[in-house]
Structure 1
Amino acid sequence: MTTATPDPDTLTDSGLAPEGDGRLLIIACGALAREILDLRDRNGWDHMDLACLPAILHNTPDRIPDAVRSAFTRHHIRYDHIYLAYADCGTGGALDRLCEELGIEMIRGPHCYAFFDGIDRFAARDEMTAFYLTDFLVRQFDAFVWRPLGLDRHPELRDMYFGNYEKLVYLSQNEDPDLVARARTQADRLGLAFEHRPTGYGDLATTLDTWAG
């Protein structure tokens, strides 16, 4: 099964409904769709379907658990196994409690930055003054950062939001010189030093491999 990845705007605002009827469903954040579909196709996991929630939910994390519950309720009757490809993502443990209630597994960690970098490595770095971007967030920087913070209208607010940060760290999942250049430009826009840290798919790959059986 090979599926064309929807454009980033669709994954940001609309998500992605499952297109097949496999025995295993991954409910995921739209920000992870490219990576999950690539891993599925690369490994021949034809029994795996993907349902993505809108990535923009990250800007209102209190709404993520209800969206996950709704997706589970809508799809669970068709699947033998359902897994959740989210980290905590600012829900304050609510996703973990929901998974216990529903009897499903999720990816452990505070957010996708951590599991791309590797949970243990990320925790050991303890980078309190770093602002992180992934491939998806580089593509969707204006939709997730610049416009929601009002910096398109009031660039003078930049120091208020980012004055305590020292660097922008781009955790890249794929080798793409254009994305590196865009991330560097975004660091300049925020007045931050730039660091590029190639991570690949990190713990996302190992977790999906376990779930795929």
Structure 2
Amino acid sequence: MTIVDLRPSDDFEFKPGKGSVLLIACGALAREIVDLIERNHWEAFDLQCLPAKWHNTPDKIVPAVREKIRAAKAHYRSIFVLYGDCGTGGQLDALLSEEGVERIDGPHCYAFFSGNAEFETHSEEDVTSFFLTDYLARHFDKLVWSGLGLDKHPDLLPLYFGNYQRIVYLAQTRDDGLERKARAAAEKLGLGYEYRFTGYGELETDLEQRG
């Protein structure tokens, strides 16, 4: 596996890695993707991650994915995108259709970690649930609490979370420390708590088909 840098620059010479398949992924999935690649000894993949924080500014995702695809296309047998729609309002799928590139199935990582069909079966009961993955549990204070300004304006808590009833922690790994963080996040938001172990779900099965 090679971590490939595709920084856009007029004078930057693109140098592909050794793999034949490029994965363009959300940075929030980086740890899980690297673990799967190393554990399964998949040698076909190179990996390029975009900043996880762009979930707060999804307008940046589509232009960056377009640039990555066009810089890399001639160097790889195929490119596979590991993003859900992720707030792009269908624009990511429109781009991928235009470029002839596939992405993992599902609207977001909560669905493909759970399994899209399984996630759908819980859709009605989860309408008032706020989801955490391992990544979000690990970085809750930075990405959610501080990211939404609740550290400085806790009075905004009802505005952001008043319609939620519980946190559902979709765990990719069995990690007591992360579960404690997820429980602490629920307490901090004044919400109920539920734990569901998902493993890597369809992230693993989709990569296995291409590895």
TM-score computed with the length of structure 1 as normaliser: 0.89
> Corresponding residue for 2:84?
87
Query: What stretches of structure 1 move > 6 A for 4+ residues in a row?
Result: none
TM-superposed deviation, 1:204: 0.6
CA contact (8 A) 1:88 1:108 kept: no
The 8 Å contact of residues 117 and 199 in structure 1, kept in 2 or not, is answered as yes
Counterpart of 1:205? Answer: 204
- For residues 48-127 of structure 1, the aligned pairs below 5 Å read 48-126=45-123, 127=126
For 1:154, the equivalent position in structure 2 comes to 153
How far residue 76 of structure 1 moved from its aligned partner, in angstroms, is 2.2
- Matched residue SS, 1:165: coil
Aligned to 2:44, which of 43, 47, 60? Answer: 47
Contact 1:87–1:108 (Cα < 8 Å) also in 2: yes
Structure 2: distance between partners of 1:139 and 1:19: 31
In the TM superposition, what is the alpha-carbon distance from 1:39 to its structure 2 partner?
1.0
Letter in 1 for 2:36: L
Q: Which amino acid aligns with 1:92?
A: G
- C-alpha distance in 2 between matches for 1:141 and 1:77: 39
Identical counterparts, % of pairs: 53
Counterpart of 2:109, as a letter, is C
Q: Which amino acid aligns with 1:122?
A: F
Deviations for 1:31-80, whole angstroms, at most 9, x for unmatched residues? 11111111111111112111000001111112211111111122223211
Q: CA deviation at 1:148?
A: 2.1
In 2 relative to 1, CA 47–60 (structure 1 residues): closer, same or farther, beyond 3 Å?
same
1:82 is paired with a residue of what secondary structure?
A: strand
Aligned residue type for 1:186: A
Question: Does 1:137 pair with 2:136?
Answer: yes
Partner of 1:170: 169
Give me the whole-angstrom Cα distance separating, in 2, the residues matched to 1:19 and 1:174: 31
**Post-superposition shift, 1:156?**
1.5
SS in structure 2 opposite 1:42? helix
| Counterpart Cα distance in 2 of 1:123 and 1:36 | 24
Instruction: State the secondary structure of the residue aligned to 1:108.
Output: coil
CA–CA distance in 1 between the matches of 2:42 and 2:167? Answer: 35
Query: Separation in 1 of the partners of 2:119 and 2:28?
Result: 19
* Equivalence map 1:176-195=2 (5 Å): 176-195=175-194
Q: Secondary structure at the match of 2:87?
A: coil
**8 Å CA contact 1:82, 1:104 repeated in 2:** yes
Shift of 1:19: 8.2
In 2, distance between residues paired with 1:183 and 1:19? 38
Q: For 1:211, give the aligned amino acid.
A: R
Distance 1:143 1:28 in 2: 21
Q: Where do 5+ consecutive residues of structure 1 fail to align?
A: 4-17
Q: How many residues align?
A: 199
